[in-house]
């Protein structure tokens, strides 16, 4: 039985608590936080032991109490924790982005590989039933060669909804991009040949890139179009992902999954959600990869490539130009 440590105990601990009892081959054994109250609260939810620790070094001194880490610390602290975990022979599951730079991401990837531990960088998205269904159709060849991926993600990110891993402004921008670029990379399975990105702040917003738009080109004419906003009025978000292949298409679109509610005036649409199955799938894949001593779906190698695309997108936003991947060395250059 693999013993997991949840490092960083925010509101997300409730989601882990809901899926922990369904995990095969693992338990959440420890809830770790620098704040004693938060650690105790999460530990109660997870039926785990609380551990009050404020640094990777201190965590290393408790290494005997767990085998793997579910990492929920600020993005700027990822490197320290992952290096420490690798040194202690612990596996790590983190949300994208892995770090704030390609060089840091590659360093963590190499460090984990050398230590023989699994470093998985994935959000729950790719394990959602809707997206696994879509991907499965693509993998079975039902849709033919992927020509276009279209993604819209619109949300409201209020202070209470922010993951502590994404609380720095640069990190937030990277995190916004990382989830969806990860999906794009997962579906196309290759690096883009062209990147054009646009980003802008919201009205009165202190943080950059409340709106992001990416236009990616891939080999053999493939293309992807992604847009993200965090400026929706408070309430429901919206997500839509379509893939158009040479012989078929799949549409995972929130608009199709809304019900109607009547309480006077205009009807209200109410989404029928997919529950926490995505989170369960993510956690289970991490555990299985450890058990089977294989690279997880969403391994750190992929995370390095995603980080490269993020950096290129940020360059494109700054320069207003298309960045083209040079043949041979794979370096992106402005056109």
Partner 1 sequence: MSQPDAPSRPVFPCAVLSVVKHAYVARGVFSHPRFRPVVVADDPHVPEWTHERNQKFADECQVPYVRDINKALTEYGAQVAVVSTEAERHCEMSLRAVQAGLNIVQDKPITTENAIESCQKLVRAVESSRRKFLLWNRNFLPAVQQAHALIQAGEIGKPTAIHIDFYFSKDAGPPKGSSRPGDSPLNWQEYLIAAHVTSGDGGLGKLPMGELEIEGIYPLAYMHRLIGLPVRRVFARTTAHFHQLYADNQVDDLATVTLEMENGVLGTLCLGRIGAASHPDIGEIKLHVLGTKGALVMSEARPEVAVYYRGQPPAEFRNRRVAIDNDYQLMDNFAHAIDTDGETILDARAGLEIVRVVTAALQSGRTGKPVDVLPVFS
DSSP secondary structure, 276-319, as one string: THHHHHHHHHHHHHHHTTSPPTTBHHHHHHHHHHHHHHHHHHHH
| Position 137 contacts partner 1 (CB under 8 A) | no
Measure the CA–CA gap between 241 and 43, rounded to whole angstroms.
Answer: 36
Residue 41 vs 238, nearer CB to partner 1: 238
Helix axes 102-115, 300-319, angle to 10 degrees: 180
Angle between helices 129-139 and 169-188 (to 10 degrees): 40
Nearer to partner 1, 193 or 279 (CB): 193
Please, are residues 227 and 151 in contact by the beta-carbon 8 Å criterion? yes
Site for partner 1 in 251-290 (CB under 8 A): 251, 254-255
Q: Nearest-CA neighbor of 304 among 123, 111, 172, 108?
A: 108
- Is residue 41 a contact point for partner 1 (CB under 8 A)? no
201 forms part of the interface with partner 1 (CB under 8 A): no
CB of 247 to partner 1, least distance (A): 6
With CB under 8 A as the contact rule, the residue among 1, 232, 318, 333 that binds partner 1 is: 232
Q: How far apart are CA 7 and CA 57, in angstroms?
A: 13
Nearest partner of 272 among 251, 297, 300, 253, judged by Cα: 253
Q: Of 134, 116, 114, 113, which Cα lies nearest the Cα of 125?
A: 134
* Residues written for the chain: 335
Among the listed ranges 33-41, 89-97, 167-175, 212-220, the one in contact with partner 1 (CB under 8 A) is 212-220
| Shortest distance in whole angstroms from residue 60 CB to partner 1 | 46
Q: How far apart are CA 316 and CA 243, in angstroms?
A: 24
CB of 152 to partner 1, least distance (A): 6
Q: Are 237 and 155 in contact (CB under 8 A)?
A: yes
Q: How far is the CB of 182 from partner 1 (least distance, A)?
A: 20
For the chain, the maximum distance between any two Cα atoms, rounded to a whole number of angstroms, is 62
Q: Considering the rule CB under 8 A, would residue 161 count as an interface residue with partner 1?
A: no
Q: Is 249 in the site for partner 1 (CB under 8 A)?
A: yes
15, 60, 137, 238: which one contacts partner 1 (CB under 8 A)? 238
34 vs 240, beta carbon nearer partner 1:
240
Say whether 29 sits in a helix, a strand or coil: strand
Out of 74, 147, 208, 271, the only residue in the binding site for partner 1 (CB under 8 A) is: 147
Q: What is the closest distance, in whole angstroms, from the C-beta atom of residue 220 to partner 1 in the complex? A: 8
Among 101, 107, 137, 194, binds partner 1 (CB under 8 A): 194
Which are the contacts of 317, defined by CB distance < 8 A and separation ≥ 6? 197, 198, 199, 209
Q: Choose between 203 and 265: whose C-beta lies nearer to partner 1.
A: 203
* 74 vs 217 by CB, closer to partner 1: 217
Does 221 bind partner 1 (CB under 8 A)? Our answer is yes
**Counting contacts by CB under 8 A, is residue 203 touching partner 1?**
yes
Segment near partner 1 (CB under 8 A); pick from 8-16, 115-123, 143-151, 285-293: 143-151
- Residue 226: Cβ within 10 Å count: 23
118 binds partner 1 (CB under 8 A): no
Q: Give the whole-angstrom CA distance, residue 269 versus residue 290.
A: 41
Positions in 311-330 near partner 1 (CB under 8 A) = 321-322, 324
Contact set with partner 1 (CB under 8 A) = 145, 147-148, 150, 152, 154, 194, 196, 198, 200, 203, 211, 213, 215, 217, 221, 223-225, 227, 229, 231-233, 238, 240, 242, 244-249, 251, 254-255, 321-322, 324, 335
């Amino acid at each position: 039985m693999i013993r997991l440590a949840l490092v960083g105990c925010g509101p997300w601990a409730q989601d882990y608590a809901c899926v922990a009892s369904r995990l095969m081959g693992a338990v959440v054994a420890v809830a770790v936080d620098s704040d004693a109250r938060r650690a105790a609260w999460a530990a109660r939810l997870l039926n785990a032991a609380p551990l009050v620790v404020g640094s990777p070094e201190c965590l290393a001194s408790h290494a005997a109490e767990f085998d793997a880490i579910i990492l929920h610390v600020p993005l700027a602290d990822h490197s320290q924790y992952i290096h420490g975990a690798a040194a202690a022979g612990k596996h790590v599951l983190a949300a994208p982005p892995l770090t704030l730079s390609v060089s840091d991401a590659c360093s963590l990837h190499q460090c984990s590989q050398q230590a023989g531990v699994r470093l998985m960088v994935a959000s729950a998205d790719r394990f959602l039933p809707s997206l696994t269904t879509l991907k499965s159709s693509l993998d079975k060849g039902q849709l033919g060669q992927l020509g276009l991926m279209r993604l819209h993600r619109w949300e409201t990110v209020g202070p209470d909804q922010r993951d502590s891993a994404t609380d720095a402004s640069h990190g937030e921008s990277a995190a916004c991009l990382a989830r969806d670029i990860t999906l794009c990379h997962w579906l196309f399975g290759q690096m883009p040949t062209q990147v054009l990105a646009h980003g802008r702040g919201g009205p009165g917003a202190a943080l950059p890139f409340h709106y992001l738009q990416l236009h990616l080109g891939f080999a053999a004419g493939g293309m992807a179009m992604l847009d993200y906003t965090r400026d929706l009025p408070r309430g429901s978000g919206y997500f839509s992902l379509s893939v158009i292949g040479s012989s078929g298409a799949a549409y995972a679109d929130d608009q199709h999954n809304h019900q109607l509610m009547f309480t006077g005036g205009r009807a209200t649409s109410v989404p029928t959600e997919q529950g926490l199955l995505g989170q369960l799938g993510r956690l289970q894949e991490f555990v299985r990869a450890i058990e089977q001593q294989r690279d997880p779906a969403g391994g750190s190698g992929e995370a390095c490539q995603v980080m490269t695309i993020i950096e290129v997108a940020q360059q494109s936003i700054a320069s207003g130009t298309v960045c083209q991947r040079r043949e041979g060395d794979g370096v992106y250059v402005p056109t």
